[in-house]
Every structure is written in C-alpha cells, then in structure tokens.
Structure 1
C-alpha cells in the first residue's frame, strides 16, 4: 500500500510539473489562485506584465500583484472579480481595462477569470488568463482616428462633421455653421505644385484651429473647403468669428522661392436649429458662401430667409449634376452661326461654334442657363475640351454637315486660359488631329484676357505657334481696351455689340467703331462686328472698313448639319449672344 501511495504521489507531482511547464510556455499571462485569493502559480508572462518576480508573487493576495483599473476613470476594477471566488462566476474583461505594473507602467489587457471547483462543486480557487492588447488597442484608436479625421490636416473629416451636425440639430440648442472656401488656392496649386498646396492646407488648418474654441468642430470637407460648427453661438457672434477667420487667412502668406502668395477665404454663415435637416443647413451655408465669393471674395455672408441672391445661387447649384451628366453622356450639342466677309466674297465659309444643352424634353438650352454654374464649379476647361473635340470630329469627318473648307471660331473660357493642363490637352488635340490648324480660330473675351495678361499672352503664342489663329472677343467692354491690345498677339478683334447695334443712329458709336478699325488696320488685325441685327448696318460697317460681320441680320445660330436659317429683314431683332 505504501508503495502504491508513493507511486501515486510521484505521478501527481509529475503531472503538476507538466502543467506548470505548459503554463509557463504559453504566450498569455496565467495566474492560479487558492480559495482565499492567494497566488499559487504565476507564469513568466504574467510576472513580466505585473512587474513582479514569480517567487515574490507566490502566496500574496492577487489584488496586490494584479492591479486592474478602468482605462477611462483609472478607478480599480478588482471588485468585478469577486464573483469568481465567492459565487463561482466566470468574468470577462474585454475592453477599457488597464494593468498597472509594479513600476507604474501601464498596458491594456483582455482578461478572463474562471473558477476551479472540487468534485462536489465547491469553489477551491480560480485561474486568471490575460493578454496584452496594447498594440491592438493602439491600432483600433488609430483606425478610429483615421475614420474621423482628415489625413492631410488632422482636422475632423466629412464623416465626423456630419455626425456632429446631426447631433447638434437634435440637442435643441442654438448653434451656427460656418462654411469656408479658400480663395485663390488653385493659383498656388497650379503655380507651385501639389506639394506646396498640401503645405498651404496644413498651415491654414493650424491657423484656423487657433481661431476657434476647443469645444467647436473644425472640419475639412474636401479640397479647399472647410466647415466650423459653433456651439451655443448667436448669429452676431458667428459673423464676428467668421470675420476674424477672414482677417487671419488674408494675413497669411505662402512663400515659394521668395515669391509671396496671398490667399483669402469666403465664408457663409447659417443657423443650426432643431427641426431643420442637416442637408438644408449645409445648403444654406454653402449658398451663403457662394454669395460671399460673388461679392468679391474674402468676405462673410450670413444666410437669411428671402435672400434673392441665395435663391439664384441655389438654382445654379441644381445645374451641377446635370452638367456632369452632360459631359459623361454627350448631352451637349453644337450650333454654328455664320460670320460673313464684307471685303472678300470668295472667302472660306466661317462660323462661330456655339454650345447647347439638350434636356430630357429635347429642348436645346443656351449657356446663359448653366454658364454661371460651370464657372463657379470649375467645369469650363472640361466643357471647352468637349467643344473642341466635337468640332474637330465634325471637320475631320467631312460628311457634309459643314463645308469641307470651313473655318470654325471656338470660344475658350477665362478658366481655361489659366489651366496649364487644359492648355496641354488642347495642344495635343490640335496636333493629333488631321484638321489643318489654320481652320481653327480660338476666341477669348477681352475681360478674361486682361484679368491675367501674362497667361493670356503665353496661351495665345502657344496656340499660334501650332498654326491656329486667335480672336479677342467683346472688344471695347474693358476699361482700357486700347492699352491692352498691343500686348495681345491676336489675329482678329470682335467689336463689342454695344457699339454696333445702334451705329447708324449714334454718331459716337460710329466714331468708336471707326477708331477701332483704323488701329486694327495699322496692326494688321482683322475686325469682326458683332450684333449685326439689322441689314441697314451692313453698308455703314462696310464703309467704315469692318472686315467681317456676325449677328441675326446675317444668320441665326443653327445645329451643325441643319440648313442655314434664312435672313428675315427687320428693323430690330433679338441680340445674338456670343454664348448662344
């Protein structure tokens, strides 16, 4: 019997040692307790996480070795484990639990405590198993931050802002929303590169953060647009805060190789009140921001009911998805209007290309309906490329829609003049086409040209080198037309219709047109009189020396391929807009 007992004792020791080896080998912390909560065994991982030598930890109460606290409050959570020994419960601690080591260092842990029972079911101890999840928690926090913050500026992103706005609308308080759109940011981006643009966005974000309260929400919505949610703020306080932001951004300078760049910010203010949808608040703030831009940029505009300018801006916004869809699915179509020579009856057919939008009802709408939207949202370069592409296809096809030797005049926007990528695209279209460049004349308005004279001059030279000609449109509408004329290497000059339509009845208009023609003759520039609405104007213009005429008295705009609309003599007629 004694031998059997000794054998059994050795076998139990061996099993215990095997268990100890296994516990010491796993990569989780393991602590076994007796029924009084004293530590019987602590494996190396657990000892390392707790900061205790295993030999010193054994026999001590577990609460002295395993100090657990709530991550948020830092209060002890040891009481949560009392149910394990007292009532035989299994306890899980899967989040917001910190283990404070003997040296004061902390790590996030995930813990499970399970009771150890005798055969009769009584609790005789417990086993605590825990692991360090600090890396996982850090990753979760990082992913959560990335999900709610802009990666470039560190500000809240659109998702976080939308959540904050929705909550603000539901809390019953009175708040204000600022919608910010940087002015002239594209100049820095295009001139200095995208890296410089990113630097500007980061620096301005830090600047704006310094001008809002910590309790407010400053977010980058995308591109160069930002928003600020001002809590518990009156309309007057919001306007004051917005004006301070305007002043701060206006005082900011970005330097590139010693060149200073000044920006601005247009800000719209709208109330955040319960009972209003978040989309409506954003619509009001965005519309107010647009009004600030229309008023001269770097200004503040506060939304109010019955704002006529705001309603007009909203009508423009409604065109935006239609224009995107038109570009994607060719919902535009081209019209042409004849330009007739007064000095050479054998000259080639000459037309100005005009744009129309085709709506769902099949109606052809002139650009007056949508041009403001296209300009506001920077779509003009894309639209210009579409027009040039389609015009080249018409000339290349030589399918009878237009004379095989016809010359086309194509309008280009001021935005296209300042877009370097668009310039490269345009040059590629011309050089890759089988159409002779001499059959293309590009038109730019005088106002667009003089707004950035250096860019306009460079653009004109680059296209003329390819063989295309250039016309200066609406000449005379600017304040210093003649002063700028010698700076622009144009082939043609289109005299503004304001001086033409009443030329036979107003001697001053006749004198102005005569002066323009005289100067152009000296410079070798061809003249085109616009808005020739009455046939009686033609002899007078011919006598003055105008080279070409265009207007409803010559021919109305019509779709490419359609027969020319016959001339109907009239004393007065609707003016033919160059935009159609």
Structure 2
C-alpha cells in the first residue's frame, strides 16, 4: 500500500486545534483523576456529612454536562472554560470531605486544584488563566476566612500561599510551553503539508525507491507518465517500466548505490501502458530516512519533445529539407569514410554524379513549385534504385550523387543506366516542358580514380559533363585502365581556365540588392561572382569547388575583394555614401595572409571606409577551423569590417559558431525562408533565430525572399533585411545602379 504522510491528524491523535478546544483525548485523563478524587472520599471510613460528597458529585456531573455542551458548538465560546471554573468548587468540596471534619489541614485532596489550573493552562487564554488563578486562591483562602480555626489553622494559610504561587507563577510558564509546542507542531504540519503538495503536484515525475530499486511511492506526474494510477506502481521495480530489452535503469541505480552521496543523471526510455516509448531524463540521489533507512529519490523528466527536436535538428544538419536525401555535408562525410576504407582495404565501389537536363526550363516555365515536386519524385526514384547500404544525396539544385559502396564497374554502369531510364520514363508521363527532363550521369569507380591519382568527385563531375556533351540523357563511365581520363578534362582543365580568367580579367561581379525591411530602402548588395568563358556566363557552383581543391580560391577571393571595393567606392561616391557591400569568402581563404593583405591594401587604395565592407562566411567555412576563423574575424573586426554568418541554420553547430565567432549579421538559410509563409515549423525556427540574434545585438537577413507573403512574414517576425528575387535578381553593376539607385533614374550609367 502506498505510504502517505498527510497534514490531517489520524484518528485517536491530538492536533493543536484539539488541544485548544480540550478534546476527548485530553479530557479523559483529567476526568479520571477528578473521578478518582470523588471515589476516594467515599471510601470508608467516611464521617463527613453526606450532602458534601453528594454536592461534589452533582458539581462533577455539571462539569461533564457543560463540557459536552461546549463540544457541540463548532467554535469556541464562553462555555469552554466553564467546566474548569466549576472544578474549583468541586475540588473544595472533595478537599473538605477528605478532611473528614478536620478541615483542609488533614486533607490530601488539595492537589485536585491542579486539575482546572492545568486544564486552563493547556486549553485557555491568558485572561482565562488569570481568572483560574484567582479562583484557585479563593478556593484555598475562603474556608480559612469563613470557617476558621480549629478546622482551618495557620498551616492552611501556608498551603493557600503555596498553591496560589503555583497558580500565579508556574501555570503561565506551563501555558507558554504549551503554546510553543503548539506553534512548532503547526509549523511542522504546514511544512509537511507543503512537502506533500510539492511532491504530489510536482510538474515532473518523482519516485521514491528502496535500495533494491522497488517503488515505495510515486507522485501523480510519474504515474501519468506511464499511464497508471500511483498505487498500481507501488511495489514494482522501476526497471519494470523500462522499454523491454534495455537495462539503463539497472545500470543507473547500480552506479548510484556505488557512489552514494552524489547526484547521478542519465537518460532512458519508459514504455507506457499504451505501448509507446517515452524518452526521459533521470536525476537520482540517495537520501537517509530515520525510520526507513536509505531511500533513492528519482526525478523523472519527459524529454521526448526535446529529443525529437534534437533529432530533427540533427536530421536537418545532414539531410536536404526538400527531398529528405543526404545533403552535401553528409555526402562528403560518407565519401571520406569510404575513401578511408579504400585506403585500408583497397579501392572498391563507385561514385555516380547525376545532373538533370533541361530542369531550369521547368522552373522558368512551370514555376518553382513544379520544379520542387519533380525533384522530390526523382529523389524517390533514386532511393528505389540503390541498396540500403548505398548513399544517395542531393548536392544542390538539380545535382545528385550516388555512392555505391561495394560494386564493380559493370554494376556501376548498370545502376547508372537504370537511373537514366527511370527518370526518362517518369518524365514521359508528365505534361509540358517537364517531358523533356532527362539525366546525364557520370560514373567513376574508386579503382579508376586511384589509377588516375585524382579526386573521385572531380572525375565524376568531369565524366558527367562528358555525358552532357555527348547529347545528354546519357551515361558515361570512366573506364578502368584508360589513361586518357574524361574527355571533358580538356574543358575541364578548370585549373588552367581559372588561372586564365584571373590573368585575362574574365571574372565578372553581379550585385543582388538587399532591402532594409524597416525603411524599404536598398541599403546594401551582395557581390556574386561569375566567369565569362567562351561566351557563357558560368555560375560559381561550376568552378568554385574545383578552385578550392586546386588551391586557387585565395587568388580568386583576392580579385573579388579588390574589384568589389573598387565598385563600392564608385557607388558611395556617385550614388549613396552609406551603401554597403557583402562579399563572400571561401573557407580556404579564411586566415590566409594574402587575403588579409588584399583587404587592407584594397581599402586603402580605393579609399573605402572599412565599416562599409561586410565579409560573409558560410557555416561550412567556419566548420573547418573555428579557432582560425575566430582569429581572422577578430583581426578584421579591429580593422573596422563587419561580418555576416551566411546560411545560418543549415548546420547543426549554428549556435556554437554564433557564440564563438565575431559576427554582426546573421543570414537565415533559405531553406527556412522559402516556405515560411506556409510552414509553421519554418516560421518558428525563423522566430527563434531572430530572437537570439536580437538578444546578442546582431541583425538578421532573410535569403530566398521570392514572394510578398514571405516578405510580410519576415516583417512580422522582426527580420531586419530581405534578399531574394522579390527584392531583385543579381545583375551587373551598371544595371544595378539604373534599377535600384534612385539617384541614377533617368540618367546614363556612370562609366
């Protein structure tokens, strides 16, 4: 049975309120003593007049009647002290009867006068005690004065003096002691009731266990957690409610008993009465109990929601939000793991790189929603085309990668052809431009990559472009033993092409406007890099990762910084003196002395205020070396430049970087912005990012703002700046000035 300590007194016990009212538990011993006094004087020999004992008996009966009458009243009244007052004449009659005609001097019943004095001292007020003291003195003095010698002699005066002192001095002391005990009892009761209430009403589960782990008592929250009533849990072992097959609770309690006196925390899963698992956190300690010995107190907190949230964050960090596939970060991690395996046990498996043909036309013609739905469908086709041990990822846009962990070249070719066939077959069932969507796949085995001593991802990318140049909707496999390598390697001599672009100044900068949501003013722009190659404007996604791999990215970033500051100087001089540029830096450039020198030299050369330059670093760039990034950001901040953390929220360590790096702006990742007007989850994430950034004194920029509804949500949630196609697309400098700078409207571009 569940043990319970209640604030209400148990039957047969005396609470402080019973003492103040003179309850039966207190009255019975006083009544027994008074009755014994009457019985004693009736025993032979008896020489006192019969009417004295009879009057004493009547007086005692009247005392009992008044006591019963006072108890019938719900509140204290004048009747409560009356029985005690009547006990004084009763004591005088019994004393006289016991004296058998010789007066009080020979009577031993004078002690009965203590009964009403003690009664009032315990149950009465200070005023009533003074009345009782006066009655006690009167009871002793009256016979001496009224009857006198020889029945009452001088010794009775001394007796009266002694009992009067008892009544006047000792009785108040006794009353104070009783009151102190009453107050202590009340405080103990209130404290006990408070502890009981705290235990029973605690918002988290609390269980008391014996040293063997059996439940002594649980509160309501604990019982609700497992879907039972508290009494149904008592007597069972706490481990009985754990998810079958797990032993975490036994381990937890075992370690707790081994290290007594320490608080121990751990996590486990409970199985509730409905068969559902509840993830909980246990915090336990061993406490001593005077009656029961050692007791284990376990605090149990349901952290299922927090666990689901953390799992969701971890999933978002490693998976593409749209398709649910692994993202580039997760894929590169899996690829590195597989490369380690190949170095230890020899090359095995293959890498497929897939790019959709004509996909841009779907977005431009049917809209992004249609394009997103097509990507989701193709992701499903890829999942169904590989084994569970393989990895499929969306690297970005319409580019996918498949890691076949254990296969030969022929197997890789067969899987690639199956993928191309399934995508073409699915597209054939669609309407409009989506019917023309196909896939170009480049396949490279890890053995072939080892033969070429080249990066497998770069080889797969070049091989994929071989497939595109072969007419698209094709599979090209880099054959093992073929020393010629991919045909696109000639195109694809990206190192030479990038070096040539730097030497011939064939890079271009486009500007995308950033709007101050509060004022509606275009106050800054992000600088975006393009490569002009054979009449084609190549986006950075096609060449930046190659530039990073071959070590050219610091040179490219140095060119970008110098040209950006040149354009910024023109912008501030001719159009807006407060305009700012956001310039992206590669992770390979962070901390590079050449980049720092280029920034300082360019600021000086073009006479630009450092505060107008905002350096953007993506989370993935910061991941490589947080200490190096922090040192670099610190030096640039001292110079006067500002920093922006780009793609915030895309990585699992976002808040870690926000804590440890110097940033003035937080750019919310577009995955949380593109659908924020439709998704309550995205809106909640945006609200939390904005709140944290504001508390840290940082400003926020929302990327991918493509619709008025998205902009309105950003405004309502307190985002500071907006960037996206609704605000403006990336355009060259002169076109940007004409479209977005009020001072340039109606005037020719400033050459």
Name the residue aligned to 1:17: 193
Asked if structure 2 preserves the Cα contact closer than 8 Å seen for 1:239 and 1:300, the reply is yes
Task: Note the 1:388-403 alignment, pairs <5 A.
Answer: none
Matches of 1:9 and 1:302, distance apart in 2 = 89
CA shift, 1:270, in A, is: 1.5
1:81 aligns with 253
Q: Deviations over 1:21-40 (max 9, x none)?
A: 11223211111224454433
Please say if residues 256 and 264 of structure 2, whose CA atoms lie closer than 8 Å, have aligned partners that are also in contact.
no
Partners of 1:67 and 1:78 within 8 A in 2: no
Q: Are the aligned partners of 1:169 and 1:278 in contact in 2 as well (CA < 8 Å)?
A: no
**Residues 1:299 and 2:474 are matched in the alignment:** yes
Residue in 2 that maps onto 1:250: 424
Which secondary structure state, in structure 2, belongs to the residue aligned with residue 143 of structure 1? helix
Following superposition, the deviation at residue 169 of structure 1 comes to 0.6
Q: Determine if contact 2:412/2:445 at 8 Å carries over to the other structure.
A: no
| Aligned equivalent of 1:309, options 473, 487, 496 | 487
Higher strand proportion? 1
Give the structure-1-normalised TM-score.
0.52
The two structures have a TM-score, normalised by structure 2, of 0.41
2:326 is equivalent to residue 156 of structure 1? yes
Cα distance change on mapping 1:287 and 1:181 into 2, 3 Å: same
TM-superposed CA distance for 1:287, in Å, is 0.7
Aligned position for 1:169 = 339
Q: Does 1:134 align with 2:304?
A: yes
1:506-517 aligned within 5 A: none
Q: Which residue of 1 aligns with 2:590?
A: none
Instruction: Quote the Cα distance in structure 1 between the aligned partners of 2:396 and 2:508.
Output: 23
Matched, 1:108 2:284: no
Aligned-pair CA distance for 1:374:
4.3
Q: Map of 1:424-439 to 2, 5 A cutoff?
A: none
Residues 12 and 299 of structure 1, relative CA distance in 2, 3 Å threshold: same
Counterpart among 264, 269, 273 of residue 98 in structure 1 = 269
Structure 2 unpaired stretches of 5+: 1-173, 511-531, 543-728, 740-744
Describe the superposition over 1:396-432 as per-residue Cα deviations: whole angstroms up to 9, x where unpaired: xxxxxxxxxxxxxxxxxxxxxxxx999xx99x989x8
Task: Give the match's secondary structure for 1:233.
Answer: coil
C-alpha deviation, 1:228, in angstroms: 0.1
Cα distance in structure 1, aligned partners of 2:459 and 2:435: 31
Alpha-carbon distance, 1:293 to partner:
1.0
> 8 Å contact 1:239–1:302 — kept in the other structure?
yes
Superimposed CA distance per residue, residues 516-537 of structure 1 (whole angstroms, 9 cap, x where no aligned partner): xxxxxxxxxxxxxxxxxxxxxx
C-alpha distance in 2, partners of 1:378/1:43? 59
Q: CA deviation at 1:105?
A: 2.7
1:288 corresponding residue in structure 2: 463
In structure 2, the partner of 1:371 is 534
Residues 259-313 of structure 1: CA deviation (Å, up to 9, x unaligned): 7622111111122369799981111110111111111111112224322624303
Unaligned runs of 5+ in 1: 331-366, 380-419, 436-559, 561-580
1:219 counterpart SS class: strand
Task: Measure, in 2, the Cα distance between the counterparts of 1:188 and 1:317.
Answer: 32
**TM-superposition CA deviations, 1:220-250 (whole Å, max 9, x none):** 0001110000011111110111111111112
The 2-side partners of 1:276 and 1:93 are apart by: 53
Q: Which has the higher contact order (CA 8 A, sep 6+)?
A: 1
Cα distance per residue 1:125-161 (max 9 Å; x no partner): 1100010000000101111111111111111110110
CA 1:25 to 1:375, structure 2 compared with 1: closer, same or farther past 3 Å? closer
Segment drifting more, 148-157 vs 169-178: 169-178
CA contact (8 A) 1:109 1:133 kept: yes
How far 1:318 moved relative to its partner? Answer: 5.1
Contact kept, 8 Å, 1:211 with 1:244, in 2: the verdict is yes
Q: How does 1:174-253 map to 2 (within 5 A)?
A: 174-253=348-427
Alpha-carbon contact 2:214-2:236 (below 8 Å) kept: yes
- Cα offset, 1:216, TM superposition: 0.8
Q: Deviations over 1:58-83 (max 9, x none)?
A: 4x14336x62248xx64564243134
Separation in 1, partners of 2:243, 2:265: 11
Structure 1 residues 315 and 204: CA distance shift in structure 2, 3 A: same
CA contact (8 A) 2:363 2:370 kept: yes
Separation in 2 of the partners of 1:46 and 1:278? Answer: 61
Aligned with residue 47 of structure 1, among 220, 223, 227: 223
Structure 1 residues 225 and 37: alpha-carbon distance in aligned structure 2, compared to 1, 3 A threshold? closer
SS at match of 2:321: coil
Paired position in structure 2 for 1:504: none
Q: 2:696 maps to which residue?
A: none
SS for the counterpart of 2:490 is: helix
Distance 1:318 1:184 in 2: 28
CA contact (8 A) 1:292 1:301 kept: yes
Contact 2:353–2:461, Cα closer than 8 Å, also in 1: yes
> Secondary structure in 2 aligned to 1:314?
coil
Asked whether the equivalents of residues 238 and 249 of structure 2 are also in contact (C-alpha less than 8 Å), the reply is no
Which residue does 2:288 correspond to in 1?
Answer: 117
Higher share of residues assigned helix: 2
